[in-house]
Structure 1
């Protein structure tokens, strides 16, 4: 492994009691090294302490022996005092501390889009059973709630097994600086709800989110009812309940029926019984990557236009036996088109894309680090969105 460069990241650490020794700052020394595959990366290789300007370094040879002895005793006393101060510092956290901490979400505030009873709230409660949920009007509001410290985490849908990807949230992942710290897979149970005493035959219209209406097309077609789109499923239940609409039904969750006092006329009315929505858990800070359980890593990158460039990008994972579980592309919003001059056919236009990839490996594994180092050689932009445990429980 070859050393290619050194960088020092300095920070003031007054809590260490270093002021007594004339030391004003400390930092971490990072060395740029080349690994066995030839990939350059930065690794921590030591720490440094810098002396205060008030105590310049001088030669011991110029000192009077009596003065020198007194100064040495003073340094010894100060060193003892420093060790005493260090003994009161808290013990650094380890991976064991995180793995043994409760995962019930006690005292954790989770933001989500919708009103109480939304499927996103169900996903938040699955991940953190004792959490306090924070409803938001829009997806972006859920992001901002975490950024502004109004919530600790956000739970947002990213894809559905029937409806596909939620593209809006892919764009927001890039626009905001939150980290993916987990995922939740939720089996969707679409229920037909109505006010107490109302039968299915009395319904003339059904209110729900467009995707919920589309996924329950067979049952709704048999009822012969009109369909009305609303912002979210639980919002539809709230509207029918608060306005006492006896001619209107709702497609929503069983929890929404309980919250808004509606009856469940039918359960699992979706056309396909295998209806699963995958949610992402977002936080201000990333979590520690581990290798003792299955982890997934999400990244986004851009590439220059050219033959075989995307093939090369995907090959860095195949070469290291890393499975890709998700590939999504989104046009670049600030630079959606690129003009290429062609003397034969005039002007051709190509879309520039962001490529989002989920791969099944932890960033704690050398093969994942080497794959991203290899990808960075020809990617024009690369960002790790998060490394998090995989959810395998439905």
Structure 2
């Protein structure tokens, strides 16, 4: 609890008390109340008690320990790319992906009441938010300062009597902590969206109604054209890959692991054939979840 800035602690305590009273319905999220992850929880289930957690690891652990039924975790942003660390936290968690949503991210420049824009010199926020507003902050002559999360940054500037210090966060965070909004829509592009995945202890049962996605992790064999061969089955079977990313593992730059999202689920014959070919050319394949596909982010 002490990890949060003082203005956020009472809100966090109240929300945690409510969530822990109904753990099966609770959805854990990283950040202080008012974070964009908090908004994602509302989009997944407006009636679910939100459970604030200081880190992604804490939010995932809350589900593993039974303090929450699910966790809302950001994975990628349309402006700033993938969210750091999530690419290895997802496979290691042992949790299943059971849903996705796209959150429209609209950053506000916040300050303490009575502080003018010209007084600001530095801006606190999560590194993702700072990256999404990089050009605007540079144009304003404001130095970005990384912080734990966006909403906590809003709470932090209210706890520190430093007139040169602002924050990037949501309008909800400004309302919750009493900040003054000096400017809104500070993101570098209007299409700014973050994709969130919903994690649970058990996967959804197949078949699923409507359009669906499957997320997998795998490591290809260390042979020439291994990735080409491993993914070839998706092309020959007409299965669309909507996401592919890689990272090295095991202390070797020759051992690459991959995360992919595909359209469809393994109970479809074409997907099953593609997965069989993927397994043949891989050291291992791990199913991370099959879940309903959210509406395209441009429509959300």
Which TM class, normalised by the smaller chain length?
Answer: 0.7 to 0.9
User: What is the CA deviation profile of residues 127-152 of structure 1, one whole-angstrom value per residue up to 9, with x for unaligned ones?
Assistant: 11111111111111111100000011
Residue of structure 2 in register with 1:18 after alignment = none
8 Å CA contact retained: 2:208, 2:291: no
Residue of structure 2 in register with 1:372 after alignment = 275
Residue of structure 2 in register with 1:259 after alignment = 176
8 Å CA contact retained: 2:96, 2:200: yes
Aligned mate of 1:280, from 187, 197, 201: 197
User: What is the CA deviation profile of residues 338-360 of structure 1, one whole-angstrom value per residue up to 9, with x for unaligned ones?
Assistant: xxxxxxxxxxxx51011111100
Residue of structure 2 in register with 1:114 after alignment = 31
1:351 and 2:257 equivalent? no
Higher relative contact order (CA 8 A, sep 6+): 2
- Structure 1: distance between partners of 2:48 and 2:208: 27
Relative to 1, partners in 2 of residues 1:106 and 1:129: Cα closer, same or farther, differing over 3 Å? farther
1:104-253 matches, within 5 Å, as: 108-253=25-170
Residue of structure 2 in register with 1:55 after alignment = none
RMSD (Å), alpha carbons: 1.8
User: What is the CA deviation profile of residues 244-272 of structure 1, one whole-angstrom value per residue up to 9, with x for unaligned ones?
Assistant: 44332111011101110112221111112
> Which structure 1 residue ranges, 5 or more long, are not aligned?
1-104, 338-349
- Structure 2: distance between partners of 1:274 and 1:296: 22
Q: TM-score, normalised by structure 1?
A: 0.67
Considering only CA atoms, is the larger Rg found in Structure 1 or Structure 2?
1
- Structure 1: distance between partners of 2:67 and 2:293: 26
User: What is the CA deviation profile of residues 256-298 of structure 1, one whole-angstrom value per residue up to 9, with x for unaligned ones?
Assistant: 0111011222111111211111111000000123353110000
Residue of structure 2 in register with 1:316 after alignment = 233
8 Å CA contact retained: 1:191, 1:268: yes
8 Å CA contact retained: 2:73, 2:197: yes
Relative to 1, partners in 2 of residues 1:359 and 1:139: Cα closer, same or farther, differing over 3 Å? same
Q: How much does 1:106 deviate?
A: 11
> Which structure 2 residue ranges, 5 or more long, are not aligned?
1-21
Residue of structure 2 in register with 1:4 after alignment = none
Residue of structure 1 in register with 2:19 after alignment = none
Task: Provide the secondary structure at the position in 1 that maps to 2:85.
Answer: helix
- Structure 2: distance between partners of 1:255 and 1:188: 12
Task: Provide the secondary structure at the position in 1 that maps to 2:270.
Answer: helix
8 Å CA contact retained: 2:134, 2:188: yes
8 Å CA contact retained: 2:83, 2:128: no
Q: TM-score, normalised by structure 2?
A: 0.87
Relative to 1, partners in 2 of residues 1:291 and 1:155: Cα closer, same or farther, differing over 3 Å? closer
Task: Provide the secondary structure at the position in 2 that maps to 1:116.
Answer: coil
